C-alpha cells in the first residue's frame, strides 16, 4: 500500500502537547476570518449569534448553555446509560441531543489551540498537493468544510448525527456554501472520490475504528491523503 494513499497523519495526545506552541497568530486569523459572520467583531460573538438565530433563543440563554455544554453533554450521556460498546446505543444518543452542537461550537470558538491547527495544517497540505475534492469525516458543525470551501475546494461532510447535519446545512446556506452531505446512518462513502480526507477526534468514539479506516481508504483517490487525529487511552489510563 502506498504510504501517500493512506496517510494516517498525526495521532495527537492533547493531554501531552501544548498546542499554543504550534499555532501562530496568522493561523488564528485565518480560522476566525473564515468562520466569522459579517458584522461580528470576533469569532465568539459570531458563534453566539449563529446559535441564537438557529435555536431562536436570546444570546444570554445561549451563553449559559455554551459555557456548560461539555459538562451537560457528559451528564446526559451518563443519565441515559449509554453503552459505548453498543453502536446502536451510541448512534441513538448522538441523534437525540442538541447539546453536541453547543459543545462543538464552544470547542471551535474558544479552544483555538486545538481545532484550528488541525484544519489549517490540513488545508496547507491540501493546497501544496493540488487537492480539490475534500471530505470531512465526522464533520461536526461543519467548520472545516467552511474553511476549505472558502479556499476553493469542493467539500463533503459526513456524520451520523441528524441534528449536526441539519445545523451544518443551515450554517452553509447562511454563507451561500455548496457542499455534499452524507448521512452515515444510511449512506455509504463513494469509492475513489476524494483527494483529501480529514478525520479529527472521531475514531475514539467508534465501536469499530478499523472498519472506518478501511472505508476511508476506499473513498480516497489514488495518491489521496488521509489526515487524522485521535485520542486513545492506554491500558494504564
- Assign domain 19-25+112-229 to a CATH class: alpha beta
Instruction: Say what the pLDDT of residue 116 is.
Output: 76
Q: Which run of H or of E encompasses 155? A: strand 154-159
CA-CA distances (angstroms) from residue 13 to 51, 103, 112, 165, 191? 30, 20, 16, 27, 30
111-167 residue pLDDT tens: 766 667 889 989 999 999 999 999 999 999 999 999 999 999 999 999 999 999 999
All cell numbers assigned to 25: 497568530
Report yes or no: 140 and 159 within 8 Å, Cβ to Cβ.
yes
40-60 tens-digit pLDDT: 989 999 999 999 999 999 999
More confident: 200 or 205: 200
Residue ranges covered by each domain of the chain: 19-25+112-229, 27-110
Q: What is the pLDDT of residue 7?
A: 44
Res 115: pLDDT: 65
Q: Please indicate, yes or no, whether the overall pTM of this predicted structure exceeds 0.75.
A: yes
Amino acid at each position: 500500500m502506498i504510504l501517500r494513499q493512506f496517510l494516517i497523519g498525526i495521532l495527537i495526545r492533547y493531554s501531552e502537547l501544548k498546542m499554543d506552541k504550534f499555532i501562530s497568530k496568522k493561523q488564528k486569523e485565518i480560522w476566525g476570518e473564515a468562520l466569522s459572520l459579517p458584522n461580528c467583531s470576533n469569532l465568539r460573538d459570531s458563534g453566539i449569534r449563529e446559535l441564537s438565530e438557529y435555536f431562536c433563543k436570546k444570546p444570554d440563554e445561549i451563553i449559559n448553555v455554551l459555557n456548560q455544554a461539555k459538562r451537560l453533554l457528559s451528564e446526559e450521556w451518563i443519565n441515559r446509560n449509554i453503552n459505548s460498546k453498543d453502536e446502536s446505543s451510541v448512534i441513538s444518543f448522538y441523534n437525540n441531543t442538541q447539546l453536541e452542537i453547543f459543545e462543538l461550537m464552544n470547542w471551535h470558538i474558544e479552544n483555538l489551540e486545538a481545532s484550528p491547527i488541525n484544519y489549517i495544517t490540513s488545508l496547507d497540505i491540501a493546497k501544496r498537493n493540488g487537492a480539490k475534492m475534500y471530505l470531512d469525516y465526522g464533520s461536526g458543525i461543519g467548520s472545516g468544510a467552511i474553511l476549505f470551501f472558502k479556499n476553493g475546494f469542493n467539500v463533503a461532510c459526513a456524520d451520523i448525527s441528524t441534528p449536526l447535519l441539519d445545523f451544518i446545512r443551515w450554517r452553509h446556506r447562511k454563507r451561500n456554501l455548496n457542499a455534499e452531505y452524507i448521512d452515515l446512518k444510511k449512506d455509504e462513502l463513494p469509492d475513489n472520490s476524494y483527494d483529501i480526507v480529514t478525520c479529527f477526534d472521531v475514531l475514539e468514539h467508534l465501536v469499530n475504528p478499523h472498519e472506518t479506516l478501511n472505508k476511508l481508504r476506499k473513498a480516497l483517490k489514488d495518491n489521496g491523503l488521509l489526515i487524522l487525529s485521535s485520542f486513545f487511552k492506554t491500558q494504564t489510563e
